[in-house]
Amino acid sequence: MMTSAAVSSRTNSFGRDLVMLTKPRIISLLLVTTIAPMYIAASPSLTLVLWVLLGGYLMAGGANAVNMFIDSDIDGTMARTRLRPIPSGRMDRRAVLAFGTLCATTATGIFAYEVNVTSAALALAGFYFYVFIYTSWLKRRTPQNIVIGGAAGAFPPLVGWAAATGHVDLAAVYLFLIVFYWTPPHFWALALNKQVDYQRAGVPMAPLVWGERETMWNMLWYTFILIALTLLPALFGAFGPIYVVSAIVLDAILLGGVIQVLRKPVWNATAWWLYKFSLLYLALLFAAMMIDRVVSR
């Protein structure tokens, strides 16, 4: 018979595994790009924001759990994923699928009944795009997996905008495009340092198919497009000085990082730094938009 301490330890371990399935660190950035557009578009109530936070976490967490279910056959071959609940043997694949499906279903109900149907449809579309288009179809077939599949991570701004306004307009699409063009340089910075893992798993990431230099040049071109998009509002006066200054500084640091990766003979440490900074970059850029808009009201 198990002691109470053993039962408590197993319960805590199971709870930690459920949280791990949702990938909370990744979700934190997705929630920033969901909530900021709400304040850019309108003046949402705290209650509405909290419902969107809960629904957004559950939807993204459900997508991440189903992703681990689909990728369980290769997660055990990669150093950064082999300790996940399924490859480590701590959870059954079917239980993970059930958990992910339950999270997504609950999230859909929250958005539909507590927010609005438009946001529910967009959140569910993001879930399906990530699970079926990126994970099930593109990831193991083409080095364009991150480029096309990155659209899944760009759905949160659409969800946030729809949650606050009930519809999607060109401003929301503009925010979608910022995240879309941010994704390749962000993820390829990681892929450069994880080539051995991806090769072992048979995932055709860009550095393995195109080569390191070609991938770096593509990172630069996508960064130029991203910078143009982030500075576009300044030309039309859509945002004030808080955003404009923030965007210029963040863009300069990001571009400098990409150029350093391209120029340095030994680029590994710089690519790691770029990957980590790019996470902060997107969060601060959206925060600057939100603060600028709130202050100007």
With beta carbons less than 8 A apart as the criterion, state whether 106 and 38 touch: no
Does the residue 235 lie in any domain?
A: yes
Q: Show the domain range for 86.
A: 13-296
What is residue 279's predicted lDDT score, i.e. its pLDDT?
97
With beta carbons less than 8 A apart as the criterion, state whether 58 and 104 touch: yes
**Cα–Cα distance, 266 to 186 (Å, whole number):** 19
Does the residue 2 lie in any domain?
A: no
Dihedral sign computed on CA atoms, order 232, 238, 243, 245: positive
Does the residue 5 lie in any domain?
A: no
* Residue 36 scores a pLDDT above 90: yes
**Cα–Cα distance, 276 to 186 (Å, whole number):** 8
From 70-84, 168-182, 267-281, the region with the lowest mean pLDDT: 70-84
Please give the mean pLDDT across all residues of the chain.
Answer: 92
Question: What pLDDT, in 10s, does the model give residues 54-71?
Answer: 999 999 999 999 999 999
**Cα–Cα distance, 297 to 132 (Å, whole number):** 41
With beta carbons less than 8 A apart as the criterion, state whether 184 and 215 touch: no
Question: What pLDDT, in 10s, does the model give residues 71-107?
Answer: 998 888 888 888 888 888 899 999 999 999 999 999 9
Question: What pLDDT, in 10s, does the model give residues 230-250?
Answer: 998 877 778 899 999 999 999
Residue 178 confidence class, pLDDT cut points 50, 70, 90: very high
What is residue 5's predicted lDDT score, i.e. its pLDDT?
45
The structure tokens 């992703």 sit at 67
Question: What pLDDT, in 10s, does the model give residues 138-148?
Answer: 898 999 998 88
Does the residue 3 lie in any domain?
A: no
**Cα–Cα distance, 288 to 293 (Å, whole number):** 8
C-alpha dihedral, 192 to 158 to 280 to 220, nearest 10°: 40
What is residue 78's predicted lDDT score, i.e. its pLDDT?
84
**Structural domains of the chain, count:** 1
* Residue 297 scores a pLDDT above 90: no
Does the residue 1 lie in any domain?
A: no
* Residue 14 scores a pLDDT above 90: no
Percent of the chain beyond pLDDT 70?
Answer: 96
**Cα–Cα distance, 262 to 217 (Å, whole number):** 7
With beta carbons less than 8 A apart as the criterion, state whether 254 and 277 touch: yes
Q: What is the pTM of this model?
A: 0.93
Does the residue 104 lie in any domain?
A: yes
**Cα–Cα distance, 150 to 282 (Å, whole number):** 14
Does the residue 133 lie in any domain?
A: yes
Does the residue 131 lie in any domain?
A: yes
Q: What is the CATH number of the domain that holds 41?
A: 1.10.600
